[in-house]
Amino acid sequence: MVELLAVLILAGVVAVVALPKLDVIDRLGADGWREQTVAGLRLAQATALGHRRLVCASFDASGLLHLRVAAGNPAIDCSADLRGPDGSNRFGSTPPGAAVAVQPAGTLYFQPSGQVSADGAGGNVGGREISISGTRSIFVAGQSGHVE
Separation in Å, CA 66 to CA 25, 29, 30, 76: 25, 19, 18, 17
Lowest-pLDDT range, 12-16, 44-48, 57-61, 112-116? Answer: 12-16
The pLDDT value given to residue 95: 65
What is the b/e burial string over 111-122, where b = at least 16 CB atoms within 10 angstroms of the residue's CB? bbeebbbbebeb
Give 49's contacts (C-beta < 8 A, 6+ positions apart): 112, 114, 145
The rounded distance, in Å, linking the Cα atoms of 120 and 31 is: 30
The rounded distance, in Å, linking the Cα atoms of 20 and 3 is: 27
* Residues 126, 116 contacting (CB under 8 angstroms): yes
Q: Residue 12: exposed, middle, or buried by beta-carbon count in 10 A (0-12, 13-18, 19+)? A: exposed
When pLDDT is averaged across residues 66-79 and rounded to a whole number, the result is: 91
The pLDDT value given to residue 47: 93
In this predicted model, which residue has the larger pLDDT, 22 or 102? 102
Q: What is the pTM of this model?
A: 0.79
The pLDDT value given to residue 26: 54
* 3-state SS, residue 58: strand
The pLDDT value given to residue 20: 64
On average, the pLDDT of the chain sits at: 85
pLDDT tens column, 6-41: 888 888 887 777 666 655 555 556 678 888 889 999
